[in-house]
Structure formats: structure tokens, C-alpha cells
A and B are shown apart, each in its own frame.
Chain A
């Protein structure tokens, strides 16, 4: 079955430190991949997406993600986090022609001063 796995339920990072959130997918073919962020009381916002081409993708708010086919991974990174980055982060995937966008269970990010 197609699935997206986010192994880390909760991550705590100091402000200014680097961040990496993990995402693994299980699909028959390489899917389209997305990272979304959800802040309390707000809808999900797209950070970045990967369809093909350069495996290092730049997104909004200083985030980037790297697609690694050999590891079936699409990890999200940020060199230096800000207190405003505290939120829930979701990795998602979809196969072309299939309208079902599949989300992982999310990683909650806490920032400490």
C-alpha cells in the first residue's frame, strides 16, 4: 500500500540551530512529494514540492528538502530555525493521475530559546 512515514512525532530544537525533519515514502513509482506546515488555527501551507529534476528543492521561509531515491526519502531542512517555525509539519505524496494526496502523521516542532 502507498504510504508516507514521518518517524519523528516531536522534535525540539534551540532557536538558531539547524533542523532536519525526516520523511520516507513507499510507492511503486517515485511520487510527487510535498511538505506542508500547519500552525494552530490555520490551514496547511505548502512549503515546497518535488516533481522531478534537481533533487534539492528550495521552498518558502528558508526551507529546503532533498529527494533521495535510493533511500525513498524526502527530508526537510533549515539551517537556522526561528521561534516562528514552531508548528506541525507534514510530508505528503501523490502519484500522477491519482487524486489521493497521502499525508504522513506529522512532526511537531518545538523551538526553545
Chain B
């Protein structure tokens, strides 16, 4: 059984650009959550998808959007990036719905916005 993987590992973008981050969940995990972790902070919940539908969202603007695919992969899209979007982005997958199920985290994508 493979773990949760994310790509790319690192990314540098310019303010105003758009970015897509990718996550591959563990096989059989129907739930994927995305988190933003700024330097020196704990992860902040962005949103969660269950069976390809968004079923929970944190305090992030609409320019943060996502997709989940039937093959256990998912994407986080950020439009019109701002300097404050620089952070480590984590995805986590879980069996079933609900964040109280054990979440398995990927190593993250380090995004730098210049």
C-alpha cells in the first residue's frame, strides 16, 4: 500500500499567477482534505472532498478551489496568487467521510509566491 504523495515538491510563482497542486491519495480513501501551513504555524483547513463533492470548507476565498477524481487523485487550484499564499500545502486522505477518521498526510508542496 503506497502512502499519500504530492507534486511538485517545491514551486515558485509570481504574484497574480495561477497554480495547480496535485495529490494522490491512498487507494480506497474516499476523502481528501487540503491544508495550508504557513511558516511557524499549524495547518489551516482549506476544504475537504468526499466522493468528488466538496463537503466542508474553511475560511479561504473562492480563488482557492479543488477537484477530486475517481482514481483517488485530487487537485488544489489557487488563482490570482498573493504573497501571503506562500506556504506548505498539505493534502490528507482518509477512509469514509468525516475528518474524525484518521487522516494520512502527504509530505506537502512548498509554494513560494514572489
Contacts and interface: CB of A to CB of B under 8 A. Distances in A.
**A joins B in a complex:** yes
Contact of A44 (B43, B48, B98, B99): B43
Nearest to B5: A43
Nearest to A51: B100
Given A43-B4, A100-B56, A100-B58, A90 B42 contact: yes
Given A42-B107, A106-B41, A100 B99 contact: yes
Q: Chain A, interface size: which category?
A: 20 to 34
Interface residues of B, number: 26
Contacts of B106: 43
Interface of B: 3-4, 33, 35, 40-45, 48, 55-56, 58, 90, 92, 98-100, 102-108
Interface of A: 4, 32, 36, 41-46, 49, 51, 90, 92, 94, 96-106
